Amino acid sequence: MIIHDLLQPISEYEFSQNYWGKKALYLEGSKDKFSDLFNWQKLNEILNSNISPHPAIILAKSGAKSTPKNHRELIEALRNGSTAVVQNIDQYDSKLSDFLDQISYELVHNTRFNLYLSFPSKAGYLTHYDTHDVFIFQISGKKKWRIFSETIKNPLFVQKKHGVSIPREDCIYIDQVLTEGDLLYIPRGHWHDAIATEELSVHLTLAAFPRTGIYFMNWIMNELTEILEFRNNFPLIYPSDRESSIRAKYHEHINTLKKQLIQFLEEPNLIDNFYNYIVSNTTSRPNFGLPYINGIENADKLKTLNFRRPPRIFRLISEESSIFIVFNGKKITLPSICSSIIEFVFSQEFFNYEGLKLNSNLDDVDILKLINLLLEEEIIIVN
């Protein structure tokens, strides 16, 4: 598991119990911890892939943002104290995209990567907090981070009231210089600032967007559209008797809704249905299977190919006569005779025909049909 390796020496359990959504965590890492994930060469390849500045780049300086018009303006802005931000950099590097897919699969939360490039002693952003959790991967150079206590717990991007006053200096509980290979976790709502020291700094920010009770309520709201009482109009109340009758009429109507809501919340399959919704609505990037866009033509060709199942959140649900695959907004139904081969495919990252044949009661024709279906649905790709 990627999250297991990231969090060493603490366990995933300790992280989820003591840190996730509660307090920041600094973990010292070996200098080469992230060297295989990203480096200067990969950054230069991305920056040099466009004649004009890469479209994902923005500049930040003391909280103000701008877009460079050309590469010279980008370099000059960096020298003058701007931080260059490459937004969603995982979309431009296959290793980052694979890493992100895997960690999204493990966390069951949507994630993204931004990259930050900063000259020393220049702050791109003022002290602030985010409305999502972040993991900082220090790729190169050094950067000093200060983490403050939260002034509002678990803030959302859209809510009535936000914390606006920066905490006092005595509320700092982490004051740490990150060096290559270090990791820093910051929960949403915890104020922080950062400044590069001594040399050019590059770090990746992995943003995780936690599901909350509001997310659950939004799902409920969508589900309630299937219940007639929630589609019914509120009663009309005319001016002549509004003050005398509004409470009674609204009370009766709302009580009916309350009873239906309680009944919905007490349904035995509530948690399973909600989890299916999470699985089917977790974003995943496309998996093109060229040149096999029309499938594999015959079983002889199938026997020569290797396959990969990219990491993505899914559910396998077995019933007496069927097995269901829930993923990416879809629910695929297959006969139960496919159960063993489907369970094999979803237990592997890489596999081939021999593995399929050993774990299946299907003949070659039916195996070919199933593999072509999985290719069409982008569940697997030809490796």
pLDDT of 238 reads: 80
Q: What is the pLDDT of residues 88-145, one digit of tens each?
A: 999 999 899 989 988 988 888 889 999 999 988 777 788 999 999 999 999 999 999 9
Residue 38 in this model has a pLDDT that exceeds 80 = yes
For the chain, the three-class secondary structure string (H helix, E strand, C coil) is CHHHHHHCCCCHHHHHHHCCCCCCEEECCCCCCCCCCCCHHHHHHHHCCCCCCCCCEEEEECCEEECCCCHHHHHHHHHCCCEEEECCHHHHCHHHHHHHHHHHHHHCCEEEEEEEEECCCCCCCCCECCCCEEEEEEEEEEEEEEEEEECCCCCCCCCCCCCCCCCCHHHEEEEEEECCCCEEEECCCEEEEEEEEEEEEEEEEEEEECCCHHHHHHHHHHHHHHCHHHHCCCCCCCHHHHHHHHHHHHHHHHHHHHHHHHHHHCCCCHHHHHHHHHHHCCCCCCCCCCCCCCCCCCHHHHCCCEEECCCCCCEEEECCCEEEEEECCEEEEEEHHHHHHHHHHCCCCEEEHHHHHHCCCCCHHHHHHHHHHHHHCCCCEEC
Where does the chain hold its CATH 2.60.120.650 domain(s)? Answer: 2-209
User: Which tens digits make up the pLDDT trace of 216-232?
Assistant: 999 999 999 999 999 99
- Top mean pLDDT of 66-70, 81-85, 95-99, 259-263 is at 259-263
CATH of 299-382, one of 3.40.1160.10, 3.40.30.10, 3.40.1710.10, 3.90.930.70: 3.90.930.70
- Of 382 and 249, more confident: 382
Q: In CATH, which of 3.20.20.70, 2.60.120.650, 2.30.40.10, 3.40.1260.10 is domain 2-209?
A: 2.60.120.650
